[in-house]
Structure formats: structure tokens, C-alpha cells
A and B are shown apart, each in its own frame.
Chain A
């Protein structure tokens, strides 16, 4: 063999070994994940998680200290009294100190990345992952158990009466016991992207799916109680207020139906595509569109106030008793804050 050929082969093998030691960054794009507590806003976007002062948008802290192409955040953070829980695209799930942003522990057993918001119940954290697995992580950051579904998990689990409910992109809704055993599973006609919602008495579970249906399942058995046909796919979150289930489809129709039997109460619409769904406010709800429209309604479907921004909303806004915050992409800023009468308080693209 010629010396030059031998050299080429050696370079090739060397490069292969070198590249096998490197892991390229994830190839996923999504919108910023948002969460609120009484005073602060928590945003997960790109390389960082930010804590902002909800009254003026000033940065409280940033995690991590240095940007990395490997670590990317899009999942909405889970905020508790003293901690922020967030998963990234590098397959790590972190517990951060809410006051300082310092990492308390990280969990790295997942095989996929985190895009869904975690839930907490009785000290146990339930983290949905794109590998289709729901990870139950104990308070020390160790794996307690895991439950595997057939596709991505993007929706936040709902937990009540020692039962965990999860909607999967494999079209199934699952009910699990707190030790990870399946109680029942029900197949819908489309993937479930938004978090399922429990009725006020906990007897029904509502789930929208990409086949354009909103269904109510019996939480004890998983049987269908009623089905409501929307015009288009149902992507985001729903709310319950005054005994009404309020949800949106992807073309901007907003529906209110009775929770007991799915009977239509009223229907209205926003001009634009709705991906994130509907979010609750103190005296109404808010819907944000991909086209940059932000519209608030009372629980009877009457418009309260609206705002328009240069940007695209893919996630539902979040609100507390003082302010409302929405995260956008392809716009002038990353995040925008309003008071509850629609006056813009601030907008910012936080930087490290």
C-alpha cells in the first residue's frame, strides 16, 4: 500500500475517533418556555434559563453561567416555593435554587430531550421526555421509576388523588399510579400535545388532540364520556371556569362547552393560528396567536382587551394576579409583560 494512502486511512480513523468523542448540538427549534410565581418570571430559551422581575423585566439571575451549544432550553420551567425544575435538550434535568439560580442537582438518565413541563406531587417530580418516557425523580434527584409510552411526551402530567395522567404523542392518554403502574390507557384519534385537564371534582379528564377532537374520559376507567368535534386540531392547554371547559383549535376558534356532557355554550374566534392554547386569568382568559395577536376574554367569550406585537406566539401566555407575560420568537423582543388591563409594562430580550 502506498504511504500516502496509508496516511489517509490513518487520518480518517483518527478523525472518526475524535468525532466519536464529540456530541453535536441538538437540532431542534422551539419557542421560549415560560412560568410565573407571584413576583417573578422564569424563561427558558436557547442556552439559558432566566429569572426576571415581573414588574419591570429586570434579570434576577441566569443559569448556567456560560452558554454551551450542547445545552439548550425550551421546556417551560416548573416553579415551586423554593426551586425551579427544568429539563434541557442535552438530556439533563435540573433542580435550581429559585432565589439564586444555583444548580442543586441534575438528573441525566433520560435518552431524549426535555420539551414538556414537569409536574410535582408529594415531593416526587414527574418529567416528560422526548424519548417517550415519563421519569419519576425523587427529591434527591435520583430515578424512582420510569414509564414508557410510544412517542414524544410534550404535555405536562396532571396529578390528583394519587393518580398521574399523561397525554402522549402516540395518541394515548395514560393513567398511572404513583409507583408508575399503568391503571388504564385510552387511545384517541390523534396525538396529544397539550396537558390534559381534570374536572373540578376529578371525575373527568379532558384531552384535546391533533384530530380536532376534545374528549372527556372517565378518570376511573378511561372510558369516553363525551367527544366534541372542533374544526381543526387542538394543540394547547385548556381551562375550566364557571363549569365551562374553554379551549381553542389551531385556526383560532375558541369553544366553551359544558364539562358534564360537552354541550356547546358559545364559540368565538381570534384572527390567527393558536398553538399554545388558552391560559387562565383572574377574571377571564387569554389566547395568543402565531401572528402576534394577544387577546383576552371574559368567561362568556366577550373581548376584554387585545394587543398586537411584532413576533410569533407559539406558547400560551402565563398570568398571575398582577401581570401577564408572553414569550415570542422572530420578533422585536423575546418576552413581553402587561398588567391585567392590557397596559404594556415592559418587553425585553434578556442577555447574559
Chain B
């Protein structure tokens, strides 16, 4: 049996802003489905992805209530990804940059993600088979 794989992904974009977030989630989902151990380092605006108070809303312009609008919430994606990883024998260590959290007042995270620092990204990269840094520019 081959050794379990470990990858690290760092993301910087805040929620509801960039297609990069969707691509990052797709990559993490593939790795989680394979049962990999995954470290996600959320930096800058990306610390808002796990914010617990994200709320679905209606769309009055289109005449849809909140249920019909079915607004996607990144905090729900993260919870689902963590569940997928666990179900497949892997794990997701989701680290929010602590300074970035404090700057933005984003300390109310869903259960699972933890605070850390860029040093954690370095350590995770050192221990990983591969690392992908997804910048904002």
C-alpha cells in the first residue's frame, strides 16, 4: 500500500469575489475524496471563508426567497470538505492566519479551522508532497 499523500494549499481571496476560491475548493475536494491529509492556509481575505455568521439571503430583484435563491456559503463548503476528508480517512487542517483574522475581526469561525501563522504554512509545506500557493493578483 502506498504512503498516504499530504498536500498544502494556500489561498488569499475573500469569499464571493473570485473564481480562484471555487478552483481552490475543487482541488481540496478532489484531495479530500482521495483521503489525503490536507493543510489549507487561509491568508489575508481568505480568513473570511470560514466566518460563522455568513448568512444566506433572499433576492428581491429576482423575486426569490432565501430557499429559492440557495445562496452558496463558503463556510458550508469548508464544513463539507472537512467531513469528506474524514469520511475518506484523510484530514483537513484549516489554518486561518491569526493576524489577518484580528485585522478583519473574523474571530468567529465555524468549528474546525484554527488560528495559526505563516510559520505554519512553512512547516506544512516542508512536510507535504506538494504545495500550491494561490495568490490574489
**Are chains A and B native binding partners rather than an unrelated pairing?**
no
Residues of A whose CB lies within 8 Å of any CB of B are: none
A-contacting residues of B (Cβ < 8 Å)? none
